[in-house]
Structure 1
Amino acid sequence: MSVLIRPAGPADAEDVARVQYLSWRSTYDGLLTPRSLARVGSMWGAAHWRATLERVDDVVVPLVVENKHHGIVGFATCGRQRGRVPFYAGEVYTLYLLPTAQGRGYGTQLMVAMARVMMARDLRSAMVWALSTNHVARRFYERLGGRPIGDRTGRLFGERVPEAAYGWPDLAVLAWMQPQK
């Protein structure tokens, strides 16, 4: 299967919004309230993503994974860590795949690509936050070598949500991982 991972641009906004919406509806059903799920489409639609992708700079790097036969099936963003977790310079901000694209190695390929992008920007370590109740995401990060490094209570649409952090103290390990299905 021919797959391309490339930087995202404003022309990708509708596809990115579609991937995020469908991924959230599938992944977070039962993990977030129906009210929060309903807000995803209105808050992060194509207009939001077009504006976001028009003002991309070296701080936030958006990537898409494109399947030759199905178009954009996933996207991710990364950059400098936004919080205050010691010892981790970079952060994976988002990683979303269409439900039909999950389990096919695309997420691993995006993680490897983000590790390489961050290392090219001299960010040698990175972390990611995941909902504590999202066991699929947590196992995914653990399979890729992410170590549990902390917990917090975040806020999403005014809803308090428990989150777990995973970290890679040396991104080189992830950057040179061979993606497998």
Structure 2
Amino acid sequence: MNPAPAVRPAVEGDARAIAEVHVAGWRGGYRGLVDDAVLDALSVEDRAAGWARGLAGGSRVLLAGTGGRVEGFACFGAARDEDLPAGTGEVHALYVLPAAWGRGTGGALLDAAVAELLTGGAPGVVLWALEGNARARRFYERRGWRTDGVRRVERFDGQELPAVRHRWAGPATT
């Protein structure tokens, strides 16, 4: 049995670990959805620089892993969609190393991010997923998230992919 992942807030020195998870998560989760050339060109160094700026600027990020190793992260904050009630929260990003999929890391991160947003007064929480990312969408649905009918197009290096918004409907009952 695998130990439960430990969740903690990220600090500025975690930018590279976040970037490593981010790149590996994209490559594992989006292969077949996003062009291979785009995935293969992702740079841990570029992502680390971006995460360092974000962490220094106050981005809210949680990390999770076992044995002191960062295996996943969740970035969250205010929702960016204008059609939502003021104060609504959003899980902006949730990525886990493919080698850690199915071990509870993603669930621990998602639960912790939602709890922080709701404790902070958010009247609800949303997240976006690529429509074709069936694995991620099943994961969210098992955890009590439901699509709300809102769609948008995500652009990745010239490629356009449909995305769907999910709202947290409370703890899953199944």
Normalising by structure 2, report the TM-score.
0.88
Look up the match of 2:124.
125
How far has the Cα of 1:85 moved from its partner?
Answer: 3.7
1:162: which partner in 2? Answer: 162
- 1:135 corresponding residue in structure 2: 134
Q: Which amino acid aligns with 2:77?
A: G
Give the superposition deviation at 1:101.
0.7
Q: Distance in 1 between matches of 2:126 and 2:4?
A: 29
Q: Distance in 2 between matches of 1:71 and 1:106?
A: 12
Question: What's the CA shift for 1:43?
Answer: 7.8
Using the aligned pairs only, state the percent identity: 33
Partner of 2:81: 83
What TM-score comes out, normalization by structure 1 length?
A: 0.85
Question: In structure 2, how many angstroms separate the alpha carbons of the residues matched to 1:42 and 1:159?
Answer: 21
Q: Say if 1:2 and 1:151 are closer, same or farther in 2 by CA, change over 3 A.
A: closer
Letter in 1 for 2:76: C
* Of 87-96 and 123-132, the range deviating more from structure 2: 87-96
Deviations 1:124-151 (A, max 9, x none): 3111110000000110111111111122
Q: Deviations over 1:107-137 (max 9, x none)?
A: 1111110111101221131111100000001
| The 10-residue stretch of structure 1 (20-29 or 86-95) with the greater mean CA deviation from structure 2 | 86-95
CA RMSD in angstroms, aligned pairs only: 2.1
Distance verdict in 2 for CA 1:157–1:80, change over 3 Å: same
Helix, strand or coil at the partner of 2:70: strand
In the alignment, the residues of structure 1 paired with residue 157 and residue 79 of structure 2 have an alpha-carbon distance, to the nearest angstrom, of: 22
Q: 1:32 & 1:131 partners in 2: Cα distance?
A: 10
Give secondary structure in 2 for the equivalent of 1:40: coil
Q: What CA distance in whole angstroms lies between the structure 2 residues aligned with 1:101 and 1:42?
A: 19
Q: CA deviation at 1:8?
A: 0.6
Unaligned runs of 5+ in 1: none
Q: Aligned equivalents of 1:66 and 1:160: distance in 2? A: 32
- Please report how far the alpha carbon of residue 106 of structure 1 lies from its aligned counterpart in structure 2 after TM superposition: 1.1
Q: Which shifted more, 28-37 or 41-50?
A: 41-50
Q: Given residue 54 of structure 2, which amino acid in structure 1 is its aligned partner?
A: T
Measure how far apart 1:84 and its partner are. 2.3
Residue 5 of structure 2 corresponds to residue 3 of structure 1? yes
In the TM superposition, what whole-angstrom CA distance separates every residue of 1:44-96 from its partner, at most 9, and x where no partner exists? 4222211211111xxx411000212x600000111110112435811110000
Tell me the residue number matched to 1:64: 63
**Distance verdict in 2 for CA 1:121–1:157, change over 3 Å:** farther
Equivalents in 2 of 1:51, 1:86: separation in Å? 27
